Amino acid sequence: MDSALVDLGQHCVQDHPLRSRDWSKLQDDIARLIEKKLWFYPHHRKFAAACADWYYISKEVHGPFQQNSIVLLLPYNNQSEICTLYNHSDSRTYEFRLNVLRDKFIYGSSNGWVCLSDKEYKISLINLLTMQQFALPYPSYALNFISGMLDTPMIESEIVTKIAVSGSPLSSNGCIVAAIMSTYEELLVCRLGDISWTPIVIKESKLKSHECWQFLHDVIFFQGKIYAINDGYNLLIVDIDGANYVARDTFGPCYQSGDDIGHPSRGEPCIEGLEDLYELRLYLVECYGKLLAIRRFGEEHPDDSYSTQYFELFEFEESEETWRMIHGLGDRSLFVGQNGSISVSATEIPGCRPNCIYFTDDFYRGQVNWEFGFRADNGVFCCEDGTIERFSISHSMARWLVPAMWCQLKM
C-alpha cells in the first residue's frame, strides 16, 4: 500500500471529531441503552471506568456484579436470549442478553464455569464473564440409558445432574471435570481434550454395597481428590494418580460408632421435633480447609412439592475418616443448590450474611407436570437460630426449562 495513503488514513483517524468528543456528556438514557447491550466483562468494566456518571449508570443497569460476585441465575426460557440474574445483596433482578444461552440447557455451575448442552447433547463449559468456551466429551455413557426417551420433557436432567470443575481450564496445571451422570447418577470424569468420559467404579466396597458409586447427590474436588456422596450415606473418594483414578468408599456423615453397615443411626434429623421432615438433598463443600457435608430437610406438600425447613452440618475428620456434627459456620456463608457448593467469607461479599446457608430449589426434575412449573423453594437459612427467610423474587418461573442456580463470577 502507498505509504502516503497510510499516513493519510492515520491522520484522518487522529483528526476524527469523535476522538475529541467528551463522551461523559452523553445523555444518560443513551448511555443506559449502550450499557444494556454489554455483558462481556472486560467491556462492561471499561464502560464503568470511563467516568463517575458511567460508573453509576453501569451499577444501576447491571448491578454490583464484579469478580467473585455470587449471583442467582433464574430459570429462563431457552427459546430467548434474555436471562435474569438475582442479586441477593440488594434483592434486585437484572436482565441480560446472552446469545450463548439460546437453545441451551444448563446442567450446573462450578468454580466460575457453567456447563451447557445444546439440542444435540453436545456439552461445553462457558465462563459468563469472558464468554470463553471449552468442549467436553459427548455424553454417550449417559445417553445409552435414555436412548428411547429423548422426546420426554426434561429428559436433559437425566444426563448430567451435577458438575464439578477442578480449576480454571486456562490453568497450566490442566483441568479435570467430574460429573454425576445417567439415570443411576454415577460419577464420570474427564480432562479437557479427552474424547470420552471415564466411569468411576469400586471393585471392592468397604461398606459391602454394590451401589456405593451410584445414586450420588453431590461431587467436589478437595485437597487433590474427588469426593462424592450418595443417598445411602456412602462417601466415595477418588485418588487421582496421573491418568488413573483409584476409587474407594467409606462411611458418610450419618454413621456413628457401632452402627451396622447399611444401617446408619442418623437417618432422621438430629434435632428433636423435626422427625417428620424429609431429607431432600446432601451436599459437599470445602469450608475453612475442611470438608463439610450438608443435609437439607423439608416438608412434603399435597402437590408433591417440598419446602426446605432445616439444615444439618457435619465435618469430615480425614485422618480417622469419621464425621462430627457442627452447629455454625463462623463468618462463612454457603451457597447450595444445582451449583457446585460455594463457601465464602461474608465480609468479602457485600450484603452477604455470615453463618448462613443460601439455597435454591434443585428438585426441578419432579416439577415437569406442575401447573406453574418451577417452585420457588429459595431462601437463606440462619445456622444460629434455625430460621429461614424466603427470597422475594419478582420473576415468572412458569414452564422454564432450566433450574435456578448460584454462579460465582470468576475470570
The per-residue pLDDT for range 128-140, each reduced to its tens digit, is: 877 889 999 999 8
The predicted structure's pLDDT at residue 374: 44
What pLDDT, on the 0 to 100 scale, is given for residue 90? 79
* pLDDT of res. 260: 59
Environment class of residue 332 by beta-carbon count within 10 Å: exposed (0-12), middle (13-18) or buried (19+)? buried
Least confident of 113-117, 128-132, 192-196, 325-329: 128-132
Residue 140, classed as helix, strand or coil, is helix
The pLDDT value recorded for residue 252 is: 80
| Alpha carbons 237 and 242: distance in angstroms, whole number | 16
18 or 98, higher pLDDT: 98
* Residue found by looking up cell 473418594 in the block: 237
Confidence category of residue 239, pLDDT binned at 50, 70, 90: very high
Question: Is the pLDDT score of 14 beyond 80?
Answer: no
CA distances from 4 to 1, 7, 9, 11, 225 (A): 9, 5, 9, 10, 63
Averaged pLDDT for residues 327-355: 93
Is residue 198's pLDDT more than 60?
yes
The answer, yes or no, to whether residue 44 has pLDDT greater than 80, is no
Q: Three-state DSSP class for 372? A: coil
Is the separation of the CB atoms in 341 and 111 below 8 Å? no
Reported confidence tier of residue 11, pLDDT bands at 50, 70, 90 = very low
Q: What does the alpha-carbon distance between residue 180 and residue 188 come to, in Å, rounded to a whole number?
A: 6
Tens digit of each residue's pLDDT (9 = 90 or more) over 348-406: 887 899 999 999 988 755 454 444 444 568 899 999 999 999 987 766 554 455 678 89
User: Which pLDDT belongs to residue 155?
Assistant: 59
In the prediction, which pLDDT does 27 show? Answer: 74
Residues 217 and 230 sit within 8 Å (Cβ to Cβ): yes
Confidence band, pLDDT 50/70/90 cuts, at residue 8: very low
75 pLDDT more than 80: no
Q: What does 58-120 look like in DSSP terms, one character per residue?
A: HHHHH-S--TT-EEEE----TTSSEEEEEETTTTEEEEEE-GGGTT-EEEEEETTEEEEE-TT
Q: Are strands 123-126 and 113-117 parallel, antiparallel or unpaired?
A: antiparallel
| 113-117: strand order across its sheet | 105-110, 113-117, 123-126, 133-135
According to the model, what pLDDT value does residue 321 have?
84
pLDDT at res. 336 = 97
Q: Lowest-confidence range among 16-20, 94-98, 130-134, 236-240? A: 16-20
- pLDDT category at 263 given cuts 50, 70, 90 is low
C-alpha cell at 74: 433464574
Over range 208-229, report the average pLDDT: 85
Cell 469426593 maps to which residue?
A: 227
What is the reported pLDDT for 153? 52
Please state which of the ranges 143-152, 194-203, 242-251, 306-315 shows the lowest mean pLDDT: 143-152
Q: Give the pTM.
A: 0.83
Find the helix or strand (DSSP H, E) in which 57 lies: helix 52-62
The answer to whether 76 and 83 have CB atoms below 8 angstroms apart is: yes
> What pLDDT is recorded for position 359?
95
Tell me the pLDDT of the chain averaged across its residues.
79
Beta carbons of 34 and 50 less than 8 angstroms apart: no
Helix, strand and coil percent figures for the chain, each rounded to 5: 15, 35, 50
Residue found under cell 488413573: 244
Residue 147 has pLDDT above 80, yes or no: no
Q: In Å, how far are 17, 26, 29, 48 from 20, measured between CA atoms?
A: 6, 13, 21, 20
Q: What is the DSSP letter of 167?
A: S
pLDDT of amino acid 13 = 46
Phi, psi of 110 (to 5 degrees): -160, 130
Give the model's confidence band at 9: pLDDT under 50 very low, under 70 low, under 90 confident, else very high: very low
Rg (CA), the chain: 24
Please indicate whether residue 155 or residue 174 has the higher confidence score (pLDDT): 174
Give the DSSP per-residue string, 227-268: EEEETTSEEEEEEEETTEEEEEEEE-TT--TTPPTT--TTSS
* Residue among 212, 182, 195 nearest 107 (CA): 182
Residue 176 to residues 4, 11, 77, 97, 169, Cα–Cα distance (Å):
54, 51, 30, 30, 8
247-262: average pLDDT:
72
- For residues 84 and 279, give the distance between their C-alpha atoms in angstroms, rounded to a whole number: 30
Residue 67, φ and ψ in degrees, nearest 5:
-50, 130
